[in-house]
Amino acid sequence: MARLIAIDYGLKRVGLAIADPLKIIASPYQTVSTPELEDFLLSFDQKEVIEAFVVGMPKNLKNESTQATEMVENFVKQLKTKFPEIPVHLVDERFTSKMAADAMIAGGAKKKDRRIKENVDKISAAIILQSFLDFKVST
């Protein structure tokens, strides 16, 4: 079955999440360094069929572009070039880092684990993907 993969893109590292085969539940998957992302996605695409990418788009509270928006837009262009047959969906990523930290607290994660930014990144990616899945169900 084809998979949805979410990407929380950052300058240093990228959080990744995947949906279950039925596309109901998003799960944190992995964090990779940004320079390794292309090789990781090419390798993942060899093992799994990727149905679509879901990329978190940074915006400010007024829904305007931020400094990070241009970086993510450039990444999306590269992604579409490398994987022209795979659709890319953009999802508002405002508050996902805060939501990820709150989810870790609610889940009983120790303070030491919450400070590991890689954990926050992949949980943020899962929140991005889950919001996409929930939106698809409601439409």
Kindly report the length of the chain.
139
pLDDT of residue 105: 57
pLDDT of residue 134: 85
pLDDT of residue 115: 57
Give every strand in the sheet of 26-33, ordered side by side: 26-33, 13-19, 3-8, 50-57, 88-92
Report the distance separating Cα 87 and Cα 89, nearest Å. Answer: 7
Helix ranges restricted to H, the chain: 37-47, 67-82, 96-106, 111-114, 117-138
How many other C-beta atoms can be found within 10 angstroms of the C-beta atom of residue 119?
18
The domain spans of the chain are 3-134
The fold of 3-134 is Nucleotidyltransferase; domain 5 (3.30.420)
pLDDT of residue 56: 93
pLDDT of residue 45: 93
3-state secondary structure (DSSP) of residue 75: helix
Q: Mean pLDDT per 10-residue run, the chain (139 residues)? A: 91 94 92 95 93 90 78 94 96 67 60 63 89 75
